[in-house]
Amino acid sequence: MIAWPSLAMLLFVLAYLASALLTLDGATRIVPLMAGAVTLMLLLIDIVRSAATQDAVMPVPPRRELIAVAYIAAAVISIQFFGFWLTIPIYLFTSIAWLGKQAFRTALSVSVLTSLFIYLLFEVLLGYNLYPGLLLELW
Amino acid sequence: MTEVFLQAVVALLSPATLMFLIGGVLIGLVFGVIPGLGGTTALALLLPLTFGMEVVHAFAMAGGIMGAVAMGGSISAILLNAPGTAPSAATCLDGYPLAKQGRAAYAIGAVASASPLGGLFGVLTLLLVLPVAKEVVLLFGPPEFFLVAVFGIVTVAVSSSRNLLRGLIAGGIGLMLSFVGYDTVNGGVRFSFGSEFLWDGIPLIPALVGLFGMAEMLRLSIAGGSVATDVSNVNLSGVGSGIRATLKHWRVVIRGSIIGTLIGAVPGVGGTVATFVAYSTTKKADRDPDSFGSGRIEGVVAPESANNAKDSGALLPTLAFGIPGSAEMVVFLGILMLHGMQPGPAIFAEHQQDIYGLILALTLGAFFASIIGLIFVRWLAAITLVNGQILAPVVIAVSFVGVYAINQTPGDIVVAAALGVVGYLMLRFDYPRLPLVIALILGETAERGFQQSMMIGKGDWGIFLHSATSLILVGLIVLSIGWSLVPLLRQRGTADETGAEK
């Protein structure tokens, strides 16, 4: 059976090659096609080789893994809509208190102090205007 | 020449200039430590401030920043596996495993000594090469740029010899990603799927922060614990051993410095390639290459010596031709012009004292950065003891803000997060991240060199063998592949013999 990361990469490379063939023309697609074709060949060799041998993979609890990735994805989406100043403290607090199972007081103090550090360094000292989020921009 | 050099020394050692230098060092350390910021941002922020300054003060501050950023970037690379600057990513490979073993101070001690030694070597080389700078830079045309890029990718891919095939696959995917965006030779936008954000390609710093920093923080938050796996074993007093280790491995320092200076001098290739090639070359030259990646001090010394040496190398094309050797040099070029200095061969004759002042500031900056870094090393190493459930969200949050600050583009956060997940999966399923990164950086140089060479040679592949420089580079590529195949063939030979005996 093909391992899912190999299958995902195979699909990515095939989609890339199809996109190069269908959307690009002439000289612009030569080098991407060369790189894609070589990678496809190497991937197929790896898939055949992996089918014959059993690769060792890092043992991890899949549920915990999915939650951690979902948390990052939620933070990214939240930054796009609500900006940094709402997302960062909430992300920090919930990650530490709920996901990390740390004490409520620790989570609160770390999220407040980190947000303050970010504000002082980036907004006050460096003069950046951190992203307010799509909703605030529209409003 | 000696008289002008001494005048530059006197000017640099005046209290006011030293103050600007130390100020630059402090700024460089802070900007280096925080992932996503780095020397380019620091110099860009400094650019308007230098307008009212004397040239010597502006150069002292810029030299201090450039000399210190490398040290700062390597501190976060070792402690958090989150390279503060792109060239420090190579230091993660063995520096972070050392931190996990509780030997962060040992690794930082090695950085603090290898960095200034590499810088000193680079500066001495620069002083020697300056009179013949023009001839050296002109040795590189499109075919040579293509071959340098191929050499960089091949060296790194084959150095992941534990899994050569997967190293090559990662390199291939890195190359494919590097072609996203505007085609600089033929025009037109590729693989952007209507997104204007992707017109400039995959942004490098967010990609590096994701692949290294975020991936590691994800692993830490999932696995639990702290960066140093054995908390009781964290040794905060190993700085002296680190310095001694650097001196003991003086050959590694010299090799790394030569690679850093040479690659730094090639415009467009940059410091990240220099540090990765220095790492790979040291790994390949070692008797036990498989032990690299598990905490070998040579794996810290080699990229660090290359990291500071590359700044002097990058100064060469910047000053001689106005062709910046790195992103930092692009901004530095702005500082030069702001002070009415026109880059070109004449700059050495017209502004000799200022140029010497800058070169000396670079060297002194690296030394001051080491001293200041060492003063704070005990407190910095304690970061490895912080609970991963607290550290990971904090680093991820600061990294999000840091990568956003570079271009003020929310899309950079998406890239960092997406590549963070990809980096984590690569860790989980044993795919090396190094070849992907190096190919992502060198893809554009390789493609541009290839296309331009084909145009010059009218489609004749013989263009890649037309000069002595090309031939040397082709020889090095063949040697790299051959060198990595020898152990595999030996293994197969031994297996065949065992089979025959049975």
pLDDT digits (tens, 9 = 90+) for B221-277: 888 776 655 545 555 667 888 889 999 999 999 999 988 888 887 765 667 788 888
A35 and B45 within 8 Å at the Cβ level: the answer is: no
Do the Cβ atoms of B176 and A114 come within 8 Å? no
> Which residue on chain B is closest to A116 by alpha carbon?
B398
Considering only CB atoms, which chain A residues are within 8 Å of B185? 27
Q: By percentage, how much of chain B surpasses pLDDT 70?
A: 83
Distance (Å) from the alpha carbon of B382 to chain A's nearest alpha carbon: 17
Q: Which of residues 17-56 of A touch B (CB under 8 A)?
A: 19-20, 23-24, 26-32, 35-36, 38-39, 42-43, 45-46, 49, 55-56
Measured in angstroms, the CA of A113 and the nearest CA of chain B are apart by: 10
DSSP string over B293-331: TS--THHHHHHHHHHHHHHHHHHHHHHHHS--SSHHHHH
Residues of chain A neighbouring B387 (CB-CB closer than 8 A): 100, 102
* Facing A36 at nearest CB: one of B176, B400, B427: B176
Determine the distance in angstroms separating the CA of A139 from the nearest CA of chain B, rounded to an integer.
Answer: 18
> How far apart are the CA of A125 and the nearest CA of chain B, in angstroms?
11
Burial class for B280, CB neighbours closer than 10 Å (0-12, 13-18, 19+): buried
Number of C-beta neighbours around residue B316 at 10 A: 26
Interface mutation target, options B26, B198, B222, B452, chain A, most CBs of A under 10 Å: B222
8 Å CB contact of A27 and B186: yes
Enumerate residues 6+ apart whose C-beta is below 8 A from B432: B160, B163, B166, B167, B170, B426
- State the pTM of this model: 0.73
Both tokens of residue B219? Answer: 């692993």
Distance CA B362, CA B120 (A): 9
Residue keyed to tokens 């923080």:
B217
Banded pLDDT at A55 (limits 50, 70, 90): low
β-strand partners of B189 = B182
Residue in A100, A129, A136, A110 with CA at minimum distance from that of residue B397? A110
Joined together, the tokens standing for residue B125 give: 């080389």
**B interface mutation test: which of A28, A90, A108 has the most B CBs within 10 A?**
A28
Residue in A with minimal Cα distance to B217: A68
Q: How far apart are CA B66 and CA B40, in angstroms?
A: 9
Cα–Cα distances (Å) from B205 to A104, B87, B201, B359, in that order, read 34, 10, 12, 27
The top-scoring range by mean pLDDT among B223-232, B297-306, B371-380, B488-497 is B297-306
Report the C-alpha gap between A72 and A88 in whole angstroms: 11
Give contacts of B401 with chain A, Cβ < 8 Å: 84, 88, 118, 122, 130
| ∠ Cα B445 B162 B104 (to 5°) | 85
Say which residues have a Cβ less than 8 Å from residue B289's Cβ, sequence separation at least 6: B159, B161, B283
Distance between CA atoms of residues A66 and A75, nearest Å: 14
Asked if the model's pLDDT at residue B38 lies above 90, the reply is no
Going by pLDDT thresholds of 50, 70 and 90, the confidence category of residue B453 is very high
Is the confidence at residue B34, as pLDDT, over 80?
Answer: no
Nearest CA among B362, B373, B390, B301 for reference residue B33? B373
Query: Quick one: which of B195, B217, B436, B81 has its CA closest to A75?
Result: B217
Q: Rounded to an integer, what distance in angstroms lies between the CA atom of residue A120 and that of residue B403?
A: 17
Please report, for chain B, how many H helices and E strands are present, in that order.
23, 2
Question: Per residue in B151-190, pLDDT tens?
Answer: 877 777 776 556 778 888 998 999 999 999 988 888 888 9
Contacts of residue A35 in chain B, CB cutoff 8 Å?
A: 172, 175-176, 179, 443
User: Which range among A13-22, A35-44, B57-66 shows the weakest confidence by mean pLDDT?
Assistant: B57-66
Residue among A5, A102, A122 whose CB faces B389 most closely: A102
The mean-pLDDT minimum among A93-97, A109-113, B305-309, B492-496 falls in B492-496
**B-proximal residues of A, 99-138, CB under 8 Å:** 99-102, 106, 110, 114, 117-118, 121-122, 126, 128-131
Q: What angle do CA A101, A106, A108 make, to 5 degrees?
A: 100
Q: Does residue B502 have a pLDDT over 70?
A: no
Q: Which of B247, B313, B238 lies closest to B275 in space, CA to CA?
A: B313
**What's residue A58's pLDDT?**
57
Chain B interface includes A97 (CB < 8 A): no
**Rounded-to-integer distance, Cα B6 and Cα B349, Å:** 16
Which one-letter amino acid corresponds to residue B100? K
Minimal Cβ distance to A5: which of B221, B405, B425: B425
Angle, alpha carbons B473-B477-B479 (nearest 5°):
110
Domains of chain A, by residue range, sit at: 4-52, 62-138
